[in-house]
Amino acid sequence: MQQINNPYSDLKILCHPDKIKAILQEERTSPLYVRIKPTNVCNQKCWYCVYANDSVIDNRNVDRRESIPWAKMKEIINDLSEMGTKAITFSGGGEPLCYPYIYDALDMVQKHGMDYAMISNGQGLEDRVISVLKSAKWVRISFDSTDRELYKKTRGVDTFSKVVDNIKQFAIEKDKSCVLGVNFVVTKNNYKEIYDMCDLLASIGVNNIKFSPLMVKGTNSDYHMEIKAEVEEQLAKAVEKFQSDTFCIIDKYTNDESLEKNFVKSKRCHIKEVFTVIGADCKVYYCHQRAYTRTGEIGDLTNQSFKELWFSEQTTKKFREMKPQRECNFRCAFEERNQLLESLVNMDRKHINFI
């Protein structure tokens, strides 16, 4: 059952009939939504970071010094605007607020009238960048401890109080329409803090918190087996106490299929037609889970524009030949969306009027 007002709903694609029509007719169109990883530089050192450690996906190759040159970033944003892309999220790779041109990039996206959002650790969420980020559709802070010492141990920096202050300040300054969320990755170290975290965030003006499991390569279900019951108990307690019209708890943990040993994998990836990722290495990837992997690469923007790459024959050929069951050796974050679209594609269209 989908939650009311769930910003993570799998059904959002149904609001884009033109894209659905293109998928049904196997036509290539511009991506609706793009994630840009402007830089791989980060001001924190989280032990579970999927880009800093090879703990989830094999053969990820991240050069921690890389950033998209400003001239290329401008070209990408102009291209996406011309192509009709509706939304851009700036995320990691590294920490997007470490990108020296982040204010200018956000400002440019805003001036082009596209929706924009950011996933950040919140450490640099201050001063000038707030003036443009306050009008984002959403800002999500990766934040996973209510305890200064644990925060330091997890992230390698002693900035717990600074991040709490930044979140508080942003909650005050942001537009009412900008949704401020927190992403809490549940690990064996922090699962006892779920209730306290909801208490803290609800009191400082955060709009939602999403709980999801730490992904551990090959052994996800084993890793979570011993904490799952208590995580679910804490989540239930937190929902009962803190869920309200102004604070939403999004549970992506309880029914996460990656916690099952035999999760389902779609035959086709339809999401790649509407969503893509651009890395700080100026390469385009199928999705964030396959970012910075050789097999996840669609192409390189160093000597061509995004538009040229996206509609090239080579990209179309790659898309036609891509097989998730062979290439995506982990639980896909878009699995439900792919399954939904696969059901639509496979539907008997002769009987659609007999609703």
Asked if 272 interacts with ligand SF4 (CB under 6 A), we say yes
Asked if 37 interacts with ligand SF4 (CB under 6 A), we say no
Q: How far is the CB of 102 from ligand SF4 (least distance, A)?
A: 26
Q: How far is the CB of 268 from ligand SF4 (least distance, A)?
A: 8
Q: Which stretch binds ligand SF4 (CB under 6 A): 41-49, 55-63, 165-173, 330-338?
A: 330-338
Q: Which stretch binds ligand SF4 (CB under 6 A): 99-107, 182-190, 248-256, 324-332?
A: 324-332
Identify which of residues 95 and 273 has a Cβ nearer to ligand SF4 in the complex: 273
Please give the full DSSP string across 270-331, using - where no structure is assigned: -GGGTEEEE-TTSEEES-GGGTTBSTTEEEE-TTS-HHHHHTSHHHHHHHHH--HHHH--S-
Q: How far is the CB of 332 from ligand SF4 (least distance, A)?
A: 3
Distance CA 283, CA 309 (A): 10
Q: Which stretch binds ligand SF4 (CB under 6 A): 128-136, 149-157, 199-207, 327-335?
A: 327-335
Q: How far is the CB of 342 from ligand SF4 (least distance, A)?
A: 11
How many other CB atoms sit within 10 Å of the CB of residue 341? 25
Asked if 191 interacts with ligand SF4 (CB under 6 A), we say no
Contact 89, 62 (CB under 8 A): no
Secondary element (H or E) of residue 36: strand 33-36
Q: CA torsion sign, 229 to 231 to 232 to 236?
A: positive
Asked if 271 interacts with ligand SF4 (CB under 6 A), we say yes
Distance CA 89, CA 278 (A): 10
* Residues within the interface to ligand SF4 (CB under 6 A): 269, 271-272, 286-287, 289-290, 324, 328, 332, 334, 338
